[in-house]
Amino acid sequence: MTQLKNKHFVLGLTGGIACYKAAELCRALMKDGASVQVVMSEGATQFITPVTMQALSGRPVFLSQWDARESNNMAHINLTREADAILIAPASAEFVAKLLHGRADDLLSLMCLARPIDKVPLIVAPAMNKEMWGNPATQRNMVQLKHDGAHVLDVGAGDQACGEVGDGRMLEPEQILEALKAHFTEKLLEGRRVLITAGPTYEAIDPVRGITNLSSGKMGFALARACSRAGAQVTLISGPVSLETPVGVERIGVISAQQMYEATQERVQNADIFIAAAAVADWRVHLAGEQKIKKGKDRTVPQLELVENPDILKTVASSPRALTQELYCVGFAAESENLEELATAKRVSKGVPLLIANVGPQTFGLDENALLLVDESGTRELPWASKDALSDELVKEIATRISRA
């Protein structure tokens, strides 16, 4: 499943060093199942060749309104009528000003002006020097462009080709791809506030050793992306994982189960949906060593006293807001055997309306998963698929169940 499969994009490039990112973006769109027609301004050809973009898109690149391939000399009409969206990436300051004033002195600007506004959205990914971006004229243009109905993406911050550092960089291709997916996703969770826990926890034995598990956090992060795309305001409480924070998601980093418990308790009162996808350690060392525990001369094995960690899901599910269905709780279970039996029992013991289970050792660290949905009426399988695709399905499940409540 992908939001971009069979979508057709007109990808417009304007003059700027960020054109090199457009090549990767084009490839990513194609990989995600979309088709791409590239249109370049004269300035863009100074930074990347039409041959490169043709090779990546599999289609001839258009540069001029008078392209001989269009017998009616109406490329600005013909190209837009098949498009699901026009994406300008990179969009220079000059081109943004041109859009704002309805100027149409080349094919790309003509095309934007002539598109059917109610059918073909215009999505703009700005890219420019930090001073150009911060200039009051540019900021006024951006505000008016949004008011006129264009979807203006954020800019990134960091090193710029001119040697300066600051805001104005075009977003990375994967960030733009995520924004496009969000644009074409039905807003099933519009206005909802979602709190998600993800990843493992780490329980210190001493300053250099600890107890943890093999959870990668990928399922929880995929759920955060899916909920955000569906219009929710998402807060993600994550254990120690090396994953990028999903676009538009607030991330709270924690290490131990106690820290995750405290972060959850602090934020769950403002949530409408709580999804406990983290693999929380059941136990921690009662008294962790302040210094590294050394091997004794007699090689004596240290005896560790373990105590139980707080049960985050059970605590939240038994709260007054959850019991009155003001807060909808979803639990996760990673088992190694007897999946249906153990997951069914866990759903009852945790007191949640929906529990999602999988065989942990088969899926930890992978980009794919297979899930078992368990509720009061029984079980249903979601077959092996990408964690992103499964997350989209879970969002639909949760939205449907909430609407029935």
Is pTM beyond 0.85? Reply is yes
Contact 265, 259 (CB under 8 A): no
List, for residues 11-37, the tens digit of each pLDDT value. 999 999 999 999 999 999 999 999 999
Here the tokens at position 321 are: 């807001």
**Cβ contacts of residue 39 below 8 Å, gap of 6+?**
10, 11, 12, 13, 61, 62, 63, 79, 107, 108, 111
248: three-class secondary structure by DSSP? coil
- Residue-level pLDDT, tens digit, the chain, 405 residues: 578 999 999 999 999 999 999 999 999 999 999 999 999 999 999 999 999 999 999 999 999 888 778 767 777 888 898 899 999 999 999 999 999 999 999 999 999 999 999 999 999 999 999 999 999 999 999 999 999 999 999 999 888 888 888 899 999 999 999 999 999 999 999 999 999 999 999 999 999 999 999 999 999 999 999 999 999 999 999 999 999 999 899 999 999 999 999 999 999 999 999 999 999 999 999 988 889 888 777 767 788 899 999 999 999 999 999 999 999 999 999 999 999 999 999 999 999 999 999 988 888 889 999 999 999 999 999 999 999 999 999 999 999 999 876
Helix (H) or strand (E) holding 93: helix 93-100
Peptide bond into 320 cis (omega under 30): no
Identical fold between 8-183 and 193-404: yes
CATH of 193-404, one of 3.30.365.10, 3.40.50.720, 2.50.20.10, 3.40.50.10300: 3.40.50.10300
In the Cβ-directed half-sphere of 191, how many Cα atoms lie within 13 Å?
A: 1
Active site residue 162: yes
DSSP letter for each residue of 54-70: HHHHSSPPB--TT-TT-
Query: What is the domain partition of the chain in residue ranges?
Result: 8-183, 193-404
The CATH number assigned to the domain with range 8-183 reads 3.40.50.1950
- Nearest of 355, 388, 354 to residue 369 by alpha carbon: 388
Contact 369, 345 (CB under 8 A): no
In the Cβ-directed half-sphere of 265, how many Cα atoms lie within 13 Å?
A: 12
Here the tokens at position 117 are: 């506004």
pLDDT value for 404: 77
Report which DSSP code applies to 259: H
- Quick one: 201 exposed, middle or buried, by C-beta within 10 A (0-12, 13-18, 19+)? buried
Catalytic residue among 19, 112, 162, 329: 162
List, for residues 288-328, the tens digit of each pLDDT value. 888 988 877 776 778 889 999 999 999 999 999 999 999 99
In the Cβ-directed half-sphere of 147, how many Cα atoms lie within 13 Å?
A: 8
What is the maximal distance between C-alpha atoms in the chain? 91
